[in-house]
Amino acid sequence: MVRGKQTRVLLLNDMERLECTLFRLEQGFELQFHLGPTLQGKSVHVHTNYPAPGKKFVSSSFRQLEWVNPSGREDDSDKYCKLDLEIAGSYQYYFGHEERTGGGFIVVDPVLRIGHERKILPLDCITVQTYLAKCLGPLDEWLDRLRVAKETGYNMIHFTPLQKLGASRSCYSIADQLELNPDFSPPGKNITWMDVGNLTEKIKKEWNMLCITDVVYNHTAANSKWIRHHPECGYNLVNSPYLKPAWLLDRALWHFSCAIADGKYSDSGLPPFIENDKCITILRGLLWTEVFSQLKLWEFLQVNVEKAVEQFRKVLQAGEPARPELEGKPKLKVIQDSQYRRLSNTVDMQLALEIFGRHTNGPKSIQECCDWFKKSLEELNVECYKEMHSHHEKAINCIVGTFFYERLVAHGPQLGPVTRTNPLVTRYFTFPFEDMAMEQENQLIQNPNDACHLLAHNGWVMGDDPLKNFAEPGSNVYLRRELVCWGDSVKLRYGVNPEDCPYLWAHMKKYTEITAKHFSGVRLDNCHSTPLHELIKPDLYVVAEVFTGSEELDNIFMTRLGITSLIREAMSAGDSHEEGRLVYHFGGEPVGSFVQPNLRPLVPSIAHAMFLDVTHDNKCPIQVRSVFDALPSTAIVSMACCASGSTRGYDELVPHQISVVKEERLYPKWNPDALPSSVGEVNLQTGIMSGKLALNKLHQELAEKGFTQVYVDQLDADTVAVTRHCPSTHQSVVTVSRTAFKNPKTHQYREHLDPMYIPGKIEEVILEARTVERNAESYVKDERFINGMPNYMVEIREHIQLEDSEIIKQGDATTKGRSEFVEEIVFEKLTPGSVIAFRVSLDPNSQKKVGYLRTQLSQFNRLYKSASLTDSNVPGILKIALDFLMSKLTLAELNVLLFRCDAEEQEDGGGCYNIPSWMPLKYGGLQGFVSVLSEFRPKNDLGHSFCDNLRQGDWMIDYVSSRLMNKGGALREVGKWFSAVFTYLKHIPRYLVPCYFDAIIVGAYATAVDAVFNQMSSFVQNGSTLVKQLALGSVQMCGVGRVPTLPPLSPELEDVPVRLNSVTKQEEQCCVSLAAGLPHFSTGIFRCWGRDTFIALRGLMLLTGRYLEARNIILAFAGTMRHGLIPNLLGQGVAARYNCRDAVWWWLQCIQDYCNIVPNGTDILMCPAVNIFVHELYQVHDQPLYVVIQEAMQCHMQGIEFRERNAGPQIDHNMRDEGFNVEAKVNPETGFVYGGNRFNCGTWMDKMGESDTAHNRGVPATPRDGSAVEVVGLSKSAVRWLMTMNENGNFPYSSVTIHRDGTEQSVSYKEWNQRIQENFERFFYVSEDASDPNEQHPDLVHKKCIYKDSYGASSPWCDYQLRPNFTIAMVVAPELFTVQRAWKALEIVEKKLLGPLGMKTLDPDDLVYCGVYDNALDNDNYNCAKGFNYHQGPEWLWPVGYFLRAKLYFAKKMGQEKYNESVYLVKNVLSRLYTRLERSPWKCLPELTNENGQYCPFSCETQAWSIATVLETLYDL
- The DSSP code sequence of 1425-1437 is GGGTTTTSS-EES
Distance CA 1503, CA 535 (A): 56
Which pLDDT does position 635 carry in this prediction?
A: 97
Alpha-carbon radius of gyration of the chain:
42
Q: How many CB atoms lie within 10 A of CB 900?
A: 28
Contact present, 1494 and 1083 (Cβ < 8 Å): no
User: What does the pLDDT read at residue 816?
Assistant: 67
SS3 at position 556: helix
pTM exceeds cut of 0.75 = yes
Q: What is the per-residue pLDDT for 1133?
A: 66
Phi first, then psi: give them for residue 464, nearest 5 degrees: -85, 165
The per-residue pLDDT for 323 is 56
From residue 891, how far is each of 826, 966, 1061, 1073 by CA, in Å?
A: 58, 18, 20, 12
At 1453 the pLDDT is: 97
pLDDT per 10-residue tile (average), the chain, 1517 residues: 79 91 95 91 93 91 93 80 94 91 94 93 97 97 97 98 96 97 94 97 97 95 96 97 97 96 94 89 93 95 95 85 63 93 93 80 83 94 96 96 89 89 95 92 93 95 85 94 95 93 95 94 75 53 85 85 91 91 91 94 93 90 94 97 97 96 96 90 96 98 96 95 96 97 92 91 96 91 96 96 92 72 92 96 94 96 92 96 97 97 94 94 97 93 95 96 94 98 95 96 98 97 94 96 89 92 87 94 90 98 98 96 92 81 98 98 96 58 93 97 92 93 96 96 95 96 97 98 97 95 94 98 93 88 96 96 98 98 98 97 97 96 97 98 98 96 93 93 96 96 97 93
Q: Using the 8-state DSSP alphabet, how is residue 1406 labeled?
A: S
Say if residues 652 and 779 touch (Cβ distance below 8 Å).
no
User: What is the bridge-based pairing of β-strands 30-35 and 80-84?
Assistant: antiparallel
- Nearest in space to 835 (alpha carbons), one of 989, 613, 661: 613
**What is the helix (H) or strand (E) element at residue 16, kind and residue range?**
none
User: Which alpha helices (H) appear in 966-1078, and where do they start and end?
Assistant: 969-985, 993-1014, 1018-1021, 1025-1037
Let me know how many helices (H) and strands (E) the chain has, helices first.
Answer: 40, 57
Cα–Cα distance for residue pair 1515/1019, rounded to 1 Å: 8
Which residues sit opposite 645 in a β-bridge? 128, 612
Candidates 988, 1021, 962; CA nearest to 841 is 988
Displacement of CA 1288 from its chain's centroid (Å)? 58
Q: Catalytic residue numbers?
A: 525, 528, 617
Question: Residues 1219, 1209: contact at Cβ < 8 Å?
Answer: no
Q: How far apart are CA 603 and CA 607, in angstroms?
A: 13
Residues with Cβ within 8 Å of residue 1460, at least 6 apart in sequence: none
DSSP line for 1460-1475? HHHHHHHHHHHHHHHH
Helices (H), 1015-1139: 1018-1021, 1025-1037, 1090-1097, 1107-1118
d(CA 92, CA 104): 6
β-strand pairing of 1182-1184 with 112-114: unpaired
Q: What is the pLDDT of residue 424?
A: 94
Instruction: Specify whether the CB–CB gap between 512 and 518 falls below 8 A.
Output: no
Give the list of residues 6+ apart from residue 889 with CB closer than 8 angstroms, or none: 897, 970, 971, 974, 1008, 1011
Q: Nearest CA to 563 among 542, 546, 532?
A: 542
- Give strand pairing partners of 414: none
> Which residues have a Cβ under 8 Å from the Cβ of 540 and sit 6 or more positions away?
110, 516, 519, 520, 521, 522, 562
Tell me if 1243 sits within 8 A of 1269, measured CB to CB. Answer: no
Residue 556: how many other CB atoms lie within 10 Å? 20
Q: Which CA distances in Å does 947 have to 918, 944, 950, 1448, 1480?
A: 11, 5, 5, 47, 20
Torsion sign, CA atoms 863, 869, 870, 875: negative
In a 3-state reduction of DSSP, which class is residue 1113? Answer: helix
Q: Cα separation of 1465 and 447, whole Å?
A: 67
Q: pLDDT at position 531, please? A: 46
Q: What does the DSSP assignment read for 634-672?
A: HHHHHTSSSEEEEETTTTTT--S---TTT--PBPPEE-T
Q: What confidence score (pLDDT) does residue 528 get?
A: 53
Cα–Cα distance for residue pair 218/459, rounded to 1 Å? 9
CA 765 from centroid of its chain's CA atoms: 42
Degrees to nearest 5, angle at CA 633 with 630 and 635: 105
Alpha-carbon span 79 to 74, nearest angstrom: 10
Rounded Cα distance between 1223 and 633, Å, is 87
Question: What is the torsion angle, in degrees rounded to the nearest 10, for the CA atoms of residue 231, residue 237, residue 243 and residue 247?
Answer: 100
Smallest CA-to-CA distance from 885 within 979, 981, 975 is with 975
Distance separating alpha carbons of residues 1443 and 1466, to the nearest angstrom: 10
**Cβ contacts of residue 637 below 8 Å, gap of 6+?**
570, 579, 583, 611, 612, 613, 644
* Omega before residue 321 within 30° of 0, cis: no
Give the pLDDT confidence score for residue 527 in this predicted structure: 64
